């Protein structure tokens, strides 16, 4: 079998020549990320992130939906921290993590982005998804423990940053090697067991990827990128340009961990039969091991709410909704807290066997009169097998952006969805601080 050289493929990739049939999906991903970023500006993490990069990463690059500026590395760090602060961004099942959260901020961090056509902007965004997804799958295949997304999406940011900086093949490889070595090999399950603002490591991943390209440009060495070039992962990279992982990302319906969302769907399927949530004596959720690890019943912070399964299940049972309010201002609601304590989570062997390619859950709800309501097996919505329509993507975008951006939401939507016909400079001013 002949093997493709991933470094060569990335170096030769022409973003302005990306086939037209990929552009629409790239715009859907971009729109979704923008919506999540806008909503995230109202989190506590967002304020801390902005203060940090403005004081510690001084420079002239604008911050995503936030006043002030920072260096290229600071802008990337802030943007990925921001998107990661509101856990509603896209992901991919085999990576058990997220690409776009780092790829978009890495792309926006460079002044060179301002000279791109819209088609080239979308092409580089797509390249980021292709490299990040493969790097994530490769790291899971070769590492003995489970690392956060920042460990591998740093490699993708280095690749697209190197393209923006027009680095030659050797420096591109050095950049990817630097990013691989310095990428945050942080423990994913620790932030599940102890949810805090470190989240999924993508802020550090985006920053590391941008830094790697700048270092490589100046002659700093770091190759080889073994996650990319090792023979053991050659099959993961060998279909570059033939299998497009851009089309294998999922979109989230709710701002909580993907692992909790099958359980939410199982409760929503019973919602009409439950009636008033005060009638619920007990909820039993059966799901895969990783989902069962989201065990915090009464989260005190936004981060803990996003990494909880009982909490969004209680929100769904009580109101039929899991939205921004569910992970922010409703955390002190006494009725929701009491209901979440009546949620019991169990591992299910069959669902364990299907993870990570598939994530399933089912639930039973015991009412105060002794009746038991049972759902069927449920998956999260928004997978490639049960995708969101364009209308659903736009509805989510509006729900997230309109409270923050107001009248800016509609023209920004129009610009994103026609971006391949415009210069990227049409988009960039709209991503500045909200008025």
| 2 has a pLDDT exceeding 80 | no
DSSP assignment string, 261-314: HHHHHHHHTTHHHH-SGGGEEEEEEEE-HHHHT---SS-SSHHHHHT-SHHHHH
| 74 has a pLDDT exceeding 80 | yes
Each residue's pLDDT tens digit, 249-299: 999 999 999 999 999 999 999 999 998 999 999 999 999 999 999 999 999
**pLDDT for 69:** 97
Each residue's pLDDT tens digit, 25-73: 999 999 999 999 999 999 999 999 999 999 999 999 999 999 999 999 9
Looking at the domain that runs over 6-252+397-431, which CATH code has it been given?
1.10.4100.10
| 317 has a pLDDT exceeding 60 | yes
Each residue's pLDDT tens digit, 380-399: 999 999 999 999 999 999 99
Answer whether 6-252+397-431 and 258-379 agree in fold: no
Each residue's pLDDT tens digit, 128-139: 999 999 999 999
Q: At what angle do helices 310-319 and 261-268 cross, to 10 degrees?
A: 20
Work out the pLDDT band at 368, boundaries 50, 70, 90: very high
**pLDDT for 3:** 81
Half-sphere CA count of 337, side-chain side, radius 13 A: 9
**pLDDT for 191:** 86
Rounded to whole angstroms, what are the CA distances from 121 to 115, 244, 247, 418, 427? Answer: 9, 17, 17, 12, 10
The alpha-helical segments, DSSP class H, found in 86-149 are 100-108, 118-142
What whole-number distance in Å separates Cα of residue 312 and Cα of residue 327?
8
**pLDDT for 433:** 86
Rounded to whole angstroms, what are the CA distances from 125 to 16, 60, 113, 132, 256? Answer: 11, 22, 11, 11, 24
| 354 has a pLDDT exceeding 90 | yes
Each residue's pLDDT tens digit, 160-217: 999 999 999 999 999 999 999 999 999 988 888 899 999 999 999 999 999 999 999 9
**Architecture of the domain delimited by 258-379:** 2-Layer Sandwich (3.30)
DSSP assignment string, 5-32: -HHHHHHH--GGG--HHHHHHHHHHHHH
The mean per-residue pLDDT over the stretch 414-429 comes to: 98
DSSP secondary-structure letter at 389?
P
Sign of CA pseudo-dihedral 270, 274, 275, 280: negative
Extents of the domains making up the chain: 6-252+397-431, 258-379
Share of the chain above pLDDT 70, in %: 99
For the whole model, what pTM was predicted?
0.96
Share of the chain above pLDDT 90, in %: 96
| 435 has a pLDDT exceeding 70 | no
What whole-number distance in Å separates Cα of residue 224 and Cα of residue 220?
13
**pLDDT for 171:** 98
What whole-number distance in Å separates Cα of residue 349 and Cα of residue 234?
32
The mean per-residue pLDDT over the stretch 352-375 comes to: 96
Residue 293 near residue 191, CB atoms below 8 Å: no
How many other CB atoms are found less than 10 A from the CB of residue 260? 29
């Amino acid at each position: 079998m002949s093997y493709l050289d991933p470094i060569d493929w990335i170096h030769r990739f022409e973003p302005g020549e990306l086939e037209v049939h990929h552009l629409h999906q790239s715009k859907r991903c971009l729109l979704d990320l923008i919506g999540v970023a806008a909503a995230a500006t109202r989190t506590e993490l967002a304020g801390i992130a902005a203060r940090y990069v403005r004081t510690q990463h001084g420079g002239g690059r604008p911050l995503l939906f936030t006043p002030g500026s920072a260096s290229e590395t600071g802008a990337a760090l802030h943007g990925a921290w921001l998107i990661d602060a509101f856990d509603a961004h896209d992901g991919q099942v085999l990576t058990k993590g997220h690409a776009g959260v780092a790829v978009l901020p890495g792309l926006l961090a460079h002044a060179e982005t301002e000279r791109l056509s819209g088609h080239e902007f979308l092409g580089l965004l797509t390249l980021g998804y292709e490299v990040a997804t493969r790097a994530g799958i490769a790291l899971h295949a070769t590492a003995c423990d489970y690392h956060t997304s920042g460990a591998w999406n740093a490699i993708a940011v280095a690749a697209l940053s190197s393209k923006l900086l027009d680095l030659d093949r050797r420096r591109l490889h050095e950049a990817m090697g630097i990013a691989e070595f310095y990428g945050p090999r942080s423990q994913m399950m620790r932030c599940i067991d102890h949810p805090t603002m470190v989240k999924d490591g993508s802020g550090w991943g985006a920053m590391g990827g941008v830094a790697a390209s700048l270092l490589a440009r100046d002659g700093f060495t770091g190759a080889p990128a073994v996650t990319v070039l090792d023979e053991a992962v050659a099959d993961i990279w060998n279909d570059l340009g033939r299998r497009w992982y851009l089309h294998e990302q999922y979109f989230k319906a709710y701002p909580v961990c993907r692992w909790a969302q099958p359980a939410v769907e199982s409760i929503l399927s019973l919602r009409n039969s439950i009636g008033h949530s005060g009638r619920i004596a007990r909820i039993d959720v059966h799901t895969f091991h990783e989902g069962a690890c989201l065990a915090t019943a009464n989260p005190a912070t936004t981060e803990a709410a996003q990494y909880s399964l009982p909490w969004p299940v209680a929100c769904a049972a009580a109101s039929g909704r899991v939205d921004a309010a569910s992970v922010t201002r409703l955390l002190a609601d006494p009725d929701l807290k009491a209901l979440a304590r009546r949620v019991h989570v169990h591992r299910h062997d069959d669902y364990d066997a299907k993870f990570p390619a598939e994530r399933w859950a089912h639930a039973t709800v015991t009412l105060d009169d002794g009746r038991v309501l049972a759902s069927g097996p449920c998956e999260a919505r928004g997978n490639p097998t049960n995708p969101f329509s364009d209308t659903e993507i736009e509805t989510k975008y509006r729900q997230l952006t309109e409270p923050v951006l107001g009248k800016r939401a509609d023209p920004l939507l129009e610009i994103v969805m026609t971006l391949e016909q415009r210069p990227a400079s049409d988009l960039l001013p709209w991503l500045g601080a909200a008025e």
